[in-house]
Amino acid sequence: MRKYHHHTAKMAVKAAFIGRIASRMKCFEGYIAVVLTLLLNGCVDYSDTTQAVSTTIKLTVPTALTGTMALNGHTITLTNADGVKLTATTNAQGEATFANLVPDVYTVSAAWNLSFAEYSQATGDTQVNEGAVVSATLNNQLIDQSTTITLPTILAIKRSLVISKVFYAGNKDRNNRNSTAAQYIELYNQSDQPVDVAGLYIGLLETGSMPAYTLSNLHTAYNDSIVVCKQVFQIPTSTPHVVQSGGSVVITNSAVNHKLNIPLAQDLTTADYEAKDARGKTQNNPAVAALDLVYSNLPALSNMNFLAGGPNGVVIFKTTLHVQMFPKIYAFGKNNGMQYLAIPKRYVMDGVDILKYKPAGVDVATKRLNNDIDAGYGVVHAANGYNSEVLYRRVSRQTGGSGQRILQDTNNSSSDFGRSTTINIREYEE
């Protein structure tokens, strides 16, 4: 019996010991749980910034519409600062949802073509035979929570004549010296019919380090009705200049073969027009027709005054009015200093907004053109230029009625234009 009791006692002691250990383990587990909870709670503020969100982008129809237009089946694109693109397709209500989206700053864009029949149904206009493009862009849109974002669209008639290339960056010559002599603009006729470009105006937008007029200033002072130019040129009216379907017009400051001294430059001896340098500092080609100077805010400059690092913006327009008589205006809020020519926006056929490159990101607040002319912008990847990059309009998947290539024209230079150091004049594919 004593042996039994002794065994029982030992068992009781063991049980008590195990109980105490278990109790302490529970306390320890509770302590661990508390610590983990505190750690997790302490991380909430950080994890919130990277938690995926679900965002819906909703298209709204252009204000110019008087009829109906389908909103389904259109692609919405989100592009972050690294150029990574995400896409989603709209439903019948014009809504596209992006699930599991990483919070970030995005450019939100959409664009699609309307045929002549679709354009007529949407607007009641039966005079336009090239159709139209519907586009929309929101720059620097912070998306950090689940929400619905409205994306207003605008309507633009398809243009027969477009700005197809702008080379402003300049080059390095064989001795590694900076050169801007080979700068040029190229225009392209992507319609099915020949186009007479005689009398066409080319405007270079003002290029101050800060805009003479921000988009907000333009809205306040002119109700978004003008573009502000520092120079205006005109293709001579003395003789017709008919550009065939799929043909180009090259305009330069110096129509010579720049390849002889600059490996990555162009042979511009076949240029159509040359902005002659009245000061004689730029080599000109007497065999190439002169571009007429209409206005320059710096009277001593008669050639195209591009900035190698940007900004540079270009518009083309046509009117029978005397452009020399258009208002000359000072910068917003000033009554002296540099004067610019105010061009009514209703005459503008095409425009490309070109901004200055910054490694930290382009400042879209320096845009000069409203979204109805250019919802995006072009830029070369060099803060001071001289990297031989030309901005060129990409080729679309369409082919014209005359078999000509159709260049991309969604009213958004950010997507319509690419950069190249090898593409030649009058060519659009590398």
The CATH number of whichever domain residue 113 belongs to comes to: 2.60.40.10
User: Are 86 and 174 in the same domain?
Assistant: no
User: Are 152 and 168 in the same domain?
Assistant: no
Whether the per-residue pLDDT at 378 is higher than 80: the answer is yes
User: Are 123 and 204 in the same domain?
Assistant: no
Is residue 414 assigned to a domain? yes
Confidence of residue 15 (pLDDT cuts 50, 70, 90): very low
User: Are 240 and 104 in the same domain?
Assistant: no
Is residue 13 assigned to a domain? no
The residue type at 360: A
Is residue 43 assigned to a domain? no
157, 183, 212 - which closes a domain: 157
List residues bridging with 251 in a β-sheet.
185, 273
| 103-157 pLDDT tens trace | 999 999 999 988 878 888 888 766 555 678 899 999 999 999 999 999 999 887 7
By mean pLDDT, which of 25-34, 107-116, 154-163 is the weakest?
25-34
157, 173, 188 - which closes a domain: 157
Whether the per-residue pLDDT at 20 is higher than 50: the answer is no
User: Are 65 and 180 in the same domain?
Assistant: no
What pLDDT was estimated at residue 304?
98
User: Are 397 and 256 in the same domain?
Assistant: yes
User: Are 148 and 221 in the same domain?
Assistant: no
Domain range for residue 280?
161-420
User: Are 106 and 174 in the same domain?
Assistant: no
User: Are 95 and 131 in the same domain?
Assistant: yes
Could you give the number of structural domains in the chain?
2
128, 157, 186 - which closes a domain: 157
Whole-number Å distance between alpha carbons of 429 and 425: 11
Note the maximum CA span of the chain. 133
**Span 19-39, mean pLDDT?**
43
* Torsion over CA: 394, 397, 401, 405 (sign): positive
| 283-340 pLDDT tens trace | 999 999 999 999 999 999 999 999 999 999 999 999 999 999 999 999 999 999 999 9
Whether the per-residue pLDDT at 32 is higher than 70: the answer is no
User: Are 93 and 176 in the same domain?
Assistant: no
Is residue 300 assigned to a domain? yes
**Span 392-417, mean pLDDT?**
91
Is residue 142 assigned to a domain? yes
User: Are 100 and 187 in the same domain?
Assistant: no
The whole model's pTM is what? Answer: 0.75
Is residue 189 assigned to a domain? yes
**Span 266-288, mean pLDDT?**
97
CB crowding 350-375: b at 16 or more within 10 Å, else e: bbbbbbbbeeeebebebbbbbbbbbb
User: Are 322 and 177 in the same domain?
Assistant: yes
By mean pLDDT, which of 59-68, 75-84, 202-211, 318-327 is the weakest?
59-68
Is residue 36 assigned to a domain? no
